[in-house]
Every structure is written in structure tokens, then in C-alpha cells.
A and B are shown apart, each in its own frame.
Chain A
């Protein structure tokens, strides 16, 4: 197997989402695992074609929401019952219905912050540079073209054969992606 250290992978370009999904499915069926597909919008059916598993964002969001809610209520409880307890006419210190609005808001805040930050962290963003940007035509990935990049670290990767394989899937402009 030919392996060059400065090679990130081989990239092919597609014009329509249908060809693109079909190609992603075939790449996966051909046994490639280290590859990624790039699209200017979330293409329906792509995740299934690539067998992407359920992601962790919902779980992180749930935990963030629970932390916000429990923390918010717990804090108000601590403030009013322990830290700064004020007995006003014998009214209960833990007047929980009055704590609900702030608890609710903090639940939402915790969940929303963790959804966004969790999504960015799992995606490895912000990331100032990535090898796919070395391909000149890749600027179309944020406009009107779809790309599949099979990475050199995949066990099945072979520069010539992988490139030919992509061409067989009706990819245009199949090109090497350098790693620097």
C-alpha cells in the first residue's frame, strides 16, 4: 500500500444530492470507514447512508438542563432557607412556588448552552484549519456542490484505486487532498 505522509485523502465532487447520497452509500458499502461527506446544507438521508449513529448532543443537553434546573432551585433554597433566611410573619422559608420561574429559566439556559457548546465541542469547532480547505474547489461546499473525501488513514485506501473508485461513482474533479 502506498502511503505518503503529506496526503490527507482523495476528494470527489458531486452536483446533485441524489448522486451524492448514492455515492456516500457505495463508499460505505465498499468498506471504507474513514471518510466524510461535505454538503452546503443538511441533506436528508445522508446520515442514514453513512450509518451515522445517534449523537451525544441530546444527552449533553439533558444533563445541562438538569444541572441548570436542580442548581437553580437548590441555590434559591439555600439562599432562602439557610444563607439569608428571613422569617416574615411565620411564612414558610421554602416557598417553592415562588422559586419556579427562576428554576425554569435556568433549566432552559443550562440546556441551551450545553446544546450549543456540546455540539461545537463534539464537532471539534472552532478549528482554524482543515486539510479539505486545501482543495481549491472546496469553496463550493458552502454553496452548490457536494464532496466526499476518503481519508488516507483508511485501511482500504490506495491513492490510484480509491481515486478511480470515486470516479466510478460519477464524481467530478477527483483530486488529492494534501495534509499541510
Chain B
């Protein structure tokens, strides 16, 4: 470093780290992002990654086929632990699915420019995570072919779903969330699909993108209504994203099981969801920008900001853990006090300590600027947080259920091969969908990047 230059971590330099690399024009952002889909040859690494992910998904398919043949007895669940992996994984995936809509909607309303280059794939990630999440309660019913019974339809049985049950609220919350996330994602994609339609050379691509773009031509009158609709969707998705994990937490909090029956669950579930969601966005963003040379678009500023959001939500989660403890002890309720002892000294205590290590202690490194600007550290950290959040759900579901009120009804839980095969299989499905998405759709919103070019060029004048 030459003399006279401010040190790298000085506030001046930090403010200068742009959300978009220098020298970009409308044409260059369009070329660079659409080229990933249209002209760039599919790399060998892509095929390898896709093949691995696809095989894992195949394993999931086999596991589900075996489940349908034999029933849920192939899993480790039994009374008193009826929930097990299915619910742990459901809550984990749905939590991951929160970051996309949060980035798209809340950061949009807050006018945060840095959301622009990460919102598209974060939304895609949301959709795929919700798809993975949806599998679990469905197969956990044991008779997934009758899952439509959860929806209110005029049946010959003459009965309706129990609308007072959190499990039915969940059906509505998750399906609404999936639908609205899909709409939000698709509306954002329309102008980009038009770009791909106009730039693709091959006839099949022109036809497919053309049909998906629905004849979008960028008319001012269309943009006018489009912007209203997008803003409204953002406004609607904001309370929705906060409600979904609240409703998921009701699945626990409405029950009287020790450790579940607490009012802190909704906010701390939502914070945990955002925490794990941002971790997953980082897990995807870091290899993505590396593989497709997108360092100009997903800059260190983005990674830094995401790390800060992770740190902040991680602290809220830590506060949640602390107050869970405090309230249990302060209440004097012997079952709650016993639960605390079980977490600290019971048979699943190692999971609890691992959870504290992953979710509370390790992320404290993010206080340091150097750590937030070390891509490798961030990547490892994001995976650690994802593991930590999975452990959190495991601890909540399993420790409370194995030892509740009556010692005669206590039990143990350990997952079987089929539990693991299904869980790892959904990770494969998720990764496979991400690979397909990156290959066939623009991973960064081109229209919004052009807007960013216009805004930054105005600022420089």
C-alpha cells in the first residue's frame, strides 16, 4: 500500500465500496448477465455439480417411495416423539426460505440499493427452499395422497378442516407464502425474460422465453402499472414473511409441551429464519460470484451487509435463547426447570452445546471487519450457521418431546437411514434446482441493474 492512502478498513474506503463495479453501462450489464444463460458454454463443473445433486435427489425419491410402501415406521419416530426429522427439516427449510422475500420486499421498501444484485437468486432460493419444506409435512402425514383433506373443499364426508388448529394455519401460511413468493419472483422476471427473448439466437429459446415474457415490450404505460404492482407486492410480502414463521412457531407455542409453550417463540423464530436465510444466501452467493465472475455485481459491500444482517439476527436469536432459559427458571414451573436441566445435562446435551457454538459463539467473529471481508471465512461461517439453525430445531423438537411430563412416557429418538436419506435428498433437490435456475434464468435482475446504472451515473455527475 502506498503512503498517504487511508488504511483498507477506514470509514472512507468502506463508504466507497460500491454496490456496482465501475464503468458499467446498460449494454454491459445486459450482456454480462444474459450471456451466462445464452452464450456461455455450460462448464464441466456445472455438469459434475448437477450430477451429484441429481443423484442425491434420486436418493430422496427412493426414500419417499419406500416410505409410501412401508409407512412412517421406517423413520425413527415413535410415541412420544412423533415429529422427529420431518418437522425439524420442515422448519429448517421454511426458515431458509425467508431471506429471499425479506431481501426482495423489506429491503425494497427501505430503498436499499444493495438488494438489487442479490434479490433474484435469493427469491429463487426461497421458492426452492419452500418446495423442499413442503415435502416434509406432506410425507409426514403418512398418507400424502390424502393431503388435500387439509384444504377446505365441499366433500361428501360433510366435514371441514379444523380452522382452530395451528397445523391448518400452517397449510394456509405456507401455501400462501409459496404462491406470493412465486408471483413476486415471476413479476420481477418478466422484463428479463423479454431481454432473453430478444437476445437469444436459437429458435426454441426464443419461443420459450417469448411465451414466458408474455409479450412484454417495456411500454411506459406498462412500467407505470408494473411498478405499482411490484411496490404493492413488496408491501404485502413484508407482513407475510413475518407471519409465516410466526405461524410455524404457533405449531409449537400453542401446545402445552414444556419448552414450546412460550410467547417468545414467534419473534425468535422469525429472527432465526432470517438468520438462516441470509446464511444460505451467502452460501450460494459466494460460489456463484466466483464461478460466473460476478464480483462486479455482487461486491464485497453485499457480502459485508449480509454478514451484518446475520450478526444482528444472530444476536436476536441469542437473546431468544437467553430469555427461554430465564423465563423457564423464573417461572419456577418444575417441568420448565427440568427442561433446562435436560438441555444442559440430558442425553441430547451435546446437540445443545453444538447449537450454542454454531449459532451464538462463532458468529461473534463477524464483529470484525477483516472477518466480514474474508470470503472464505464468510462461506464457512454461513455453513456453520446453517448447521446451527438445524440443531436449534432438533433441540426444540426432540428434547421437549423425549422427556415431557410423565417419566413413564419418556423415550429416545434417533433418526434412521431413511430419515437421513430424505433429508440429504432434499438438499440435493435444492442444489439441483439452483443449478438449473442459474443455467436457464438470469440469476441477477437485469432490469434492476440497468436502473442501478442509471442511478449511479446520476450520482457521479
A interface residues, Cβ below 8 angstroms from B: 17, 24, 36-44, 46-47, 50, 52, 55-58, 61, 65, 75-76, 79-80, 83-84, 95, 98-99, 101-102, 104-106, 108-109, 111-113, 115-116, 118-120, 122-123, 125-130, 132-133, 138-144
Chain A's nearest CB lies how many Å from the CB of B151? 11
Interface contact B195-A119, CB-CB below 8 Å: no
Interface contact A130-B218, CB-CB below 8 Å: no
Chain A's nearest CB lies how many Å from the CB of B116? 11
Q: Which of B157-165, B288-296, B361-369, B372-380 contacts A (4 or more CB under 8 A)?
A: B157-165
User: Which interface residue of B163, B164, B191, B233 has the most chain A CB atoms within 10 A?
Assistant: B163
CA distance A112 to B239 in the complex (A): 12
Interface contact A40-B195, CB-CB below 8 Å: yes
Residues of B within 8 A of A140 (CB): 198
Interface contact A57-B225, CB-CB below 8 Å: yes
Q: List 5 A-B contacts (CB under 8 A).
A: A41-B26, A41-B448, A42-B226, A105-B240, A122-B225
Chain B, residue nearest A79 (CB):
B160
Interface contact B450-A40, CB-CB below 8 Å: yes
Interface contact B218-A38, CB-CB below 8 Å: yes
Answer yes or no: B243 CB below 8 A from chain A CBs. Answer: yes
Given contacts A104-B243, A142-B198, contact A127 B214 (CB under 8 A): yes
10 A-B pairs with the lowest CB-CB distances in the bound complex, closest first? A126-B214, A119-B229, A144-B26, A127-B215, A139-B198, A144-B27, A98-B164, A101-B169, A37-B220, A41-B450
Answer yes or no: B176 CB below 8 A from chain A CBs. Answer: yes
Chain A's nearest CB lies how many Å from the CB of B31? 8
Q: Which of B179-187, B343-351, B427-435 contacts A (4 or more CB under 8 A)?
A: B179-187
Chain B's nearest CB lies how many Å from the CB of A91? 9
Given contacts A55-B225, A57-B229, A108-B239, contact A125 B214 (CB under 8 A): yes
Given contacts A36-B220, A108-B239, contact A99 B229 (CB under 8 A): no
- Which residue from A38, A57, A76, A112 sits with its C-beta under 8 Å from B217? A38
Residues of B within 8 A of A141 (CB): 198, 217-218
Interface contact A58-B223, CB-CB below 8 Å: no
CA distance A40 to B216 in the complex (A): 10
Interface contact A123-B163, CB-CB below 8 Å: no
Interface contact B450-A105, CB-CB below 8 Å: no
Chain B's nearest CB lies how many Å from the CB of A26? 15
CA distance A61 to B187 in the complex (A): 15
Residues of B within 8 A of A40 (CB): 26, 30, 191, 195, 218, 447, 450
Residues of B within 8 A of A61 (CB): 229, 232, 236
Interface contact A111-B232, CB-CB below 8 Å: yes
- Which residue from A41, A119, A130 sits with its C-beta under 8 Å from B454? A41
Interface contact B159-A119, CB-CB below 8 Å: no
- Which residue from B30, B222, B223, B229 sits with its C-beta under 8 Å from A143? B30
Chain B's nearest CB lies how many Å from the CB of A89? 13
Chain B's nearest CB lies how many Å from the CB of A5? 22
CA distance A40 to B25 in the complex (A): 12
